[in-house]
Amino acid sequence: MVSSNSKTILVLGVGNLLMGDDGVGIHVVRELEGMKWPPNVRIEDGGMGGVTLISLWEDADYVILIDAADMRKPAGACVVFSPEDVRSVKKDDRFSLHHTDLLGLLDLMRTVSLKTPLVRVIGVQPQEIEWRDQLSETVRCKIPAIISLVQEEIAKIGQGGGLGKCTK
C-alpha cells in the first residue's frame, strides 16, 4: 500500500475500449481496482471522458489521469506531465458535452467557479488506434510500469510534495 495524506486523490482512467490502445486508461484502472489503496484514494473508470468527468473531479484535491496521448514518441512510452506543460491542439472551438479536452475541461471548471483539483496526466503513446477491443502487445506490456507511475505520484502527494514536476 502506498502512503498518502488526507487529501482526496482520484485516479481516473479514460479512453475508448473499442479503439485499441485508446482504451489504455480503462485497462489500467481495472487493474488498479483489484489493489488495496488508502481510504482517501478513489479509482474510477471515466469512460470516454468529456464534461461528465466534472462530477467525478469536484470532490478531489488531486487527479491522476491515465490516457492515451499522441506525444510523437515510440509506442508504449509513458510520460507524466501537468496540463500546464502542454497546450491544446484542438482546432474546433465549438463546445460539446461529450468531446472536450483536458485543458477545456479545466477552463470550464474555473469559468463556473468550481474547485479545480491539481492534475497530473500519465500519457501513454498508443501503437494502434483502430477498431479492436484489445490493447496492442506493446501497450499491454506497459501496464505494470503505468501502475508504478500511479504509485509514485500518490507517494509524492503523501510526502507533501503535491503533484509537482515529475523528472521521468
92-107 burial: b if 16+ Cβ within 10 Å, else e: eeeeeeeebebebbbe
* Residues 6 or more apart whose Cβ sits within 8 Å of residue 112: none
The strand pairing partners of 79, in sequence order, are 123
What share of the chain in percent tops pLDDT 70? 74
**Looking at the domain 9-161, which fold is it?**
Rossmann fold (3.40.50)
Pick from 71-85, 126-140, 148-162 the range whose average pLDDT is largest: 126-140
Q: What pLDDT was estimated at residue 107?
A: 64
Taking the model in full, what pTM does it have? Answer: 0.81
Sketch the domain layout of the chain as residue ranges. 9-161
Task: State the Cα–Cα distance between residues 130 and 116, nearest whole angstrom.
Answer: 33
135: burial class by Cβ within 10 Å (0-12, 13-18, 19+)?
A: buried
